[in-house]
Structure 1
Amino acid sequence: MKTRISRTVLDAIRAHAAAEAPREACGLLFGTAGRVHAVMAAANVADDADRRFEIDPATLFAAIRAERSGGPKLVGYYHSHPGGSAEPSVADRAMAAADGKLWLIAAGEAVTVWRAGEGGFERV
Structure 2
Amino acid sequence: MTVRISRGVLQRILAHAANEPVREVCGLLLGSPLRVENARETANVALDPASAFEIDPATLFGTLRAERAGGPRILGHYHSHPNGSPTPSARDAVMALQPGRLWLIVARGEARMWCEWPGGAMHGAFDPVELVVDDAQDGCT
| TM-score range for the pair, normalised by the shorter chain length | over 0.9
Contact 2:18 2:109 in 1 (8 A): no
The corresponding residue for 1:64 is 64
Counterpart Cα distance in 1 of 2:65 and 2:117 = 23
Structure number with greater CO (CA < 8 Å, separation at least 6) is 2
The corresponding residue for 2:7 is 7
Between Structure 1 and Structure 2, which shows a larger proportion of strand residues? 2
User: 1:4-36: per-residue Cα shift (whole Å, max 9, x none)?
Assistant: 011101101011101122000000000111110
User: If the length of structure 2 is used for normalisation, what is the TM-score?
Assistant: 0.86
Counterpart Cα distance in 2 of 1:108 and 1:6 = 19
Counterpart Cα distance in 1 of 2:20 and 2:58 = 19
Counterpart Cα distance in 1 of 2:109 and 2:15 = 10
User: 1:35-80: per-residue Cα shift (whole Å, max 9, x none)?
Assistant: 1010000000001100010000000001100000000000010000
Contact 1:22 1:50 in 2 (8 A): yes
User: If the length of structure 1 is used for normalisation, what is the TM-score?
Assistant: 0.97
The corresponding residue for 1:86 is 86
Contact 2:24 2:52 in 1 (8 A): yes
Gaps of at least 5 residues in structure 2 are 120-124, 130-141
Contact 1:98 1:118 in 2 (8 A): no
Per-residue deviation, 1:100: 0.8
Contact 2:102 2:115 in 1 (8 A): yes
User: How high is the sequence identity, in percent, across the aligned residues?
Assistant: 53
Counterpart Cα distance in 1 of 2:67 and 2:59 = 12
Q: CA RMSD in A?
A: 0.8
Aligned length: 124
> 1:3 is paired with a residue of what secondary structure?
strand
The ranges of structure 1 where at least 4 consecutive aligned residues each deviate by more than 3 angstroms after the TM superposition are none
> 1:66 is paired with a residue of what secondary structure?
helix
